[in-house]
Structure 1
Amino acid sequence: MAAYQLALIVRNHNVENFEFLVTRQRRPSEQKFEGLPYIDKELWDLPSARLSRIDESGLIMSPISEDNEGSVSLGKSVSSSMQKLGLKGFDVVDAISQIQAQVAPPGVHMTPWRYWKLVEESEYGPGPPLHTVIFMTDFFIDKSEVPGGGEWLDSQTTMDVLIQWGAHSRRIGPLAALAASTHVPDGLVANFESIHGQEYPPGIVVLPMRSIIPKPFGKTNLVILSPSNLSGQCGETLSNHAATGDVMICDPGCIGAAQAELAHIVKSLPRKLLVFLTHHHYDHIDGLPVVRKNNSEAVLVASEATFRRMGKATKGFNCITVEGGSKVLISGHELEIISAPGHTDGHLAIYDSATGTLVVGDHCLGQGSSLLDPSSGGNLQDYLLTTRRLLDLGPHYLVPMHGRPNLWPAHMLCGYIKHREAREAKILKAIQGGARTAYEITSTAYADTPASLWPQALNNVILHVEHLNDNKKLPKDFSLENFERSSRSPFLLKCLPAVTKYVLWAPWVHFTSSSMSTVISRVSVAVLLGAVALYWAKRKL
């Protein structure tokens, strides 16, 4: 079920140009991390407030008091507009009160709120999408007055900040960008009818598309980069760039019905198309046959390691190998390739310095931490070094390939470092306490995690132990050989009871919300696990 918020465009009625109010957005908690001198620039956006659900039967409002009497009166009008959208069961009055506290100084005349637009966020996963109901009002106020600590912006200034953010001390959020976009030339989404993603900043579109990646995500973000017509930036010469094109898409990894949508998108884009691949995993390249079928001129851009691991998947494409520091040119707009090993050894990111947008592949996720793939050269040492390198770029907007894009990149990246450091400290403490086998270390360091998930956690334990060994932090009596041996069948056998219990019990607990195919697949896995256990038991007899 989607979540909703209320937002307000406050126009200055006393000026001829379209001028609207933005307010400073609250930073995430714990914005400062000890030992990491990185902090995100201030973010300004439309005043907004979450809509709390109360009763699905209707729009129920907060109790009337002297403080919110005006909000209740206004709430009736807002409620009526929302009912026409089929939205019921929200505390509209509370949301209105929160917004008024952000923007309205005492004595300011405000016109009635008028419904403007419902903005439906794409389903990125794993959490519900956040849809925004936007209203509009006018303030009759002197231009020099700035209510509620906010700032007045006109459309042109807003777009200037969005497309050349490095020259400004503030950042502009997606709702303010949307408000300003109606007063400037059409962006990428408006020019291509097949594209239904979120365009932010201008010329950069993110579309989550169904892929083989398992839940809780289930989708891979297709990113379309075509910012040249807005920034006016011009590259130096063609010889200075590894690849040139009119538009770029990143990681077409969709499957099933989503491939039909990808086909429509590719057909609608210019023929001189670059396809940037962050790495070789199937959930990032499964749509390549669709791209080739609908644009035989498309050119693949990736690292040497990625192309090598893709094998025959590159057949029929022209391929350009790039590395960290390489530059590509999209209709005169320069983008930089960033070396980002860690998830895999050939992993790349791509950075648009004009808008501050960093497309980061699987180095980050919209929620939670990324898994590293040691079978493809992924390792923790590279991952942590890459994270600090990305922090040094100081991006404004971070786009992962799974989950919602992030408006607080420094906070996210610093959080990743601290999370890895904290987990490694637990693993080292377990080892110093006498744990030597994979099961002993995992069960101690992940004591706060259900035992049924320890097999997935083992991958991280192995990476951390290797990292500790590289940094010479392991005790002298710790045997890597014995640890590696214990991480195979002995570990799986000890985890088998917990995993089997989960696989068998979970579908019956959630039977009403699970499909029969899910139940059957879980039982099948349980039977397979039982067969493995029986096989090992016979070998021991």
Structure 2
Amino acid sequence: MATHKLALIIQNPSNQNEFLLIKQSRPPKFNDEEYDSFLDSDLWDLPSVQLNPLQPQSDPPVEVQISVSHSDEFNFSEFDIHSALKEVFGELGFGIVERGEWKFHKYVKEPAFGPGLPVNTVFIAGKLVDDEIKDFSDSYKWMSIQSCLNWLLEVIPHGDRVGPLVVVGLVNDSSVSANWEAPPAINYQEYPTGVILIPMGSRTAKPFHTTNLVVFAPENVPNASKDNQLIVYGDALIVDPGCLSKFHGELKNIVTALPRRLVVFVTHHHRDHVDGLSVIQKCNPDAILLAHENTMRRISRDDWSLGYTSVTGDEDIYIGGQKLKVIFAPGHTDGHMALLHVNTHSLIVGDHCVGQGSALLDINSGGNMSVSVKRMVHSLQLRD
């Protein structure tokens, strides 16, 4: 079971290489002076709306051209495409619903990240005609795939950002950012480009049932850095291999497909983040494990019996020539670490942000609210 979303790729009639992006609404304020003082940068994404099943009294379905090879992926006749288009273009101020020609572009099944139903997205493409183009406000803009890719790969602090729909629907298909592909039958998401998120069944706390395995294996580029903080380098990175034993075979397939010069980063010692370490140790005993010493003293030798490299924060690691910064982020546990991908300003936070509700503080392992998020935010502020 899944819910569905409709995303529109609206091409610029005067430049077929450009498509329409909409500025997304910012998160609400919390009336907390310190929290509200942090201003998020603008996020741009494809126009989209929830897609509902077609009801008996609904308007006739909108005609969408579908190639035979994709006809089994998504059944348009079961969904109210007309109402979805009407809602989107009502917000945009366009009157294109009745005479637009739409073609199926892509159907993306979202991995099972959280406790709720996955949100699968169907992408359709169409063009505006000249008499429907109006002066856009600052809430809309035309962008090319290359422009979006530039935003993704070289993020400027406080600069504009690209949302996941345009990345999953368009950018990832046009760019070659990694020298590794996930094995067949593994459902994953790539966002930002080059950073793979794979939800793996784990011994996590309810209502969740998976932990995200992060895989980073970029195309190798020369590393000209002379950074004195460099602690290790590799060709691929895995973060938090914490899957249940019944998924160890899947994890083995992932590890064996990666380059041998592998770095493993553990944010903290909880079972849902380390249960697969033994698989990596068997598949690639040359892998380099990075963790805080407070984390390592709580990890069983049955999980990892080889040596490790201790990190305390501010160390740099290079994967395929790309820089990541280690950040000490205690609070959930006293050895909790985060990892910042410098180019894209993407922060891997472990259990500091869990997507729903609040992260638990493990008082048996040094969990402490007073040093939790504030320390990590302060660390990031210093880097801007």
Change (3 A) 1:182 1:299: closer
CA distance in 1, matches of 2:158, 2:141: 14
Q: 1:79 offset after TM fit, Å?
A: 11
Identify, as 1 or 2, the structure richer in strand: 2
Cα displacement (A) at 1:38: 0.7
- The alpha-carbon deviation at position 218 of structure 1 amounts to 1.3
1:159 equivalent in structure 2: 149
What are the equivalent positions in structure 2 for 1:178-257 lying under 5 Å apart?
178-181=168-171, 184-188=174-178, 191-194=181-184, 196-227=187-218, 229=220, 234=223, 236-237=225-226, 240-257=229-246
Task: Note closer, same or farther for the CA distance 1:193–1:51 as it changes in structure 2 (3 Å cut).
Answer: same
* TM, length-normalised to structure 2: 0.88
Shift of 1:289: 1.1
Partner SS for 1:212: coil
Q: Tell me, what secondary structure is at the counterpart of 1:191?
A: coil
Tell me the SS of whatever aligns to 2:251: helix
| CA distance in 1: counterparts of 2:324 and 2:155, whole angstroms | 15
1:237 positional shift: 3.2
Alignment of 1:325-344 (within 5 A): 325-344=314-333
Q: How does 1:388-427 map to 2 (within 5 A)?
A: 388-389=377-378, 392=381
**Alignment: residue pair count:** 378
Provide, for residues 321-356 of structure 1, a one-character-per-residue CA deviation record: whole Å limited to 9, x for no partner. Answer: 111111111111110001000111111000112111
1:179-223 deviation digits (Å, cap 9, x = unpaired) = 432663334497344453100111101111011114310111100
The secondary structure found in structure 1 opposite 2:125 is: strand
Determine whether 1:171 maps to 2:161: yes
Does the Cα contact within 8 Å between 2:183 and 2:253 map onto a contact in 1?
no
Matched, 1:3 2:3: yes
Q: Secondary structure at the match of 1:275?
A: strand
Alpha-carbon displacement from aligned partner over 1:201-252 (angstroms, at most 9, x marks no partner): 11101111011114310111100123455xx684513764111111100000
Percent identity, please: 36
Superposition CA RMSD, Å: 3.1
Q: Equivalents in 1 of 2:143, 2:135: separation in Å?
A: 11
Pairwise CA distance, 1:114? 0.9
- Asked if the contact 2:361/2:367 (under 8 Å) is kept, the reply is yes
Distance (Å, rounded) in 2 between the aligned partners of 1:189 and 1:124: 24
8 Å CA contact 1:154–1:180 kept in 2: the answer is no
Give the CA deviation at 1:102.
4.0
TM-score by length of 1: 0.64
Q: Secondary structure at the match of 2:25?
A: coil
Structure 2: runs of 5 or more not aligned = none
The structure 2 residue matched to 1:76, chosen from 53, 56, 62, is 62
- Structure 2 equivalent of residue 113 of structure 1: 102
Q: Secondary structure at the match of 2:299?
A: helix
Task: Describe the SS at the equivalent of 1:166.
Answer: coil
Q: Post-superposition shift, 1:107?
A: 7.8
Counterparts of 1:50 and 1:182, CA distance in 2: 23
Q: For residue 51 of structure 1, what is the aligned residue in structure 2?
A: 51
Write the distance in 1 (CA, Å) between the matches of 2:263 and 2:196. 15
Cα distance change, pair 222–83 in 1 and its aligned pair in 2 (3 A): closer
List gaps (5 residues or longer) in structure 1.
54-58, 64-71, 396-541
SS at match of 1:114: strand
Separation in structure 2 between the aligned mates of residue 182 and residue 380 of structure 1, nearest angstrom = 38
Query: Which residue number in structure 2 is paired with residue 280 of structure 1?
Result: 269
Judged with a 3 Å threshold, the aligned counterparts in structure 2 of structure 1 residues 218 and 109 are, in CA distance, closer, same or farther, namely closer
Q: Secondary structure at the match of 2:308?
A: strand
Deviation by residue 1:285-308 (Cα, 9 ceiling, x = unmatched)? 110111112112111101111112
Equivalent residues of 2:179, 2:219 under 8 A apart = no
Written as runs of structure 1 = structure 2, the 5 A alignment for 1:93-132 is 93-103=82-92, 105=94, 111-132=100-121
Which of the pair has the greater relative contact order for Cα pairs under 8 Å at 6+ separation? 2
Instruction: Give distance in 1, aligned partners of 2:335 and 2:319.
Output: 23
Counterpart in the other structure of 2:55: 60
Task: Give me the whole-angstrom Cα distance separating, in 1, the residues matched to 2:228 and 2:375.
Answer: 28
Structure with greater proportional helix content:
1
Q: 1:35 to 1:318 in 2, by over 3 A?
A: closer
Would you say 1:320 and 2:309 are equivalent positions? yes
Larger Rg: 1
| Distance in structure 2 (CA, Å) of the matches to 1:341 and 1:362 | 11
> Aligned to 2:126, what secondary structure does the other structure show?
strand
Q: Deviations over 1:140-162 (max 9, x none)?
A: 449x9665741111111110001
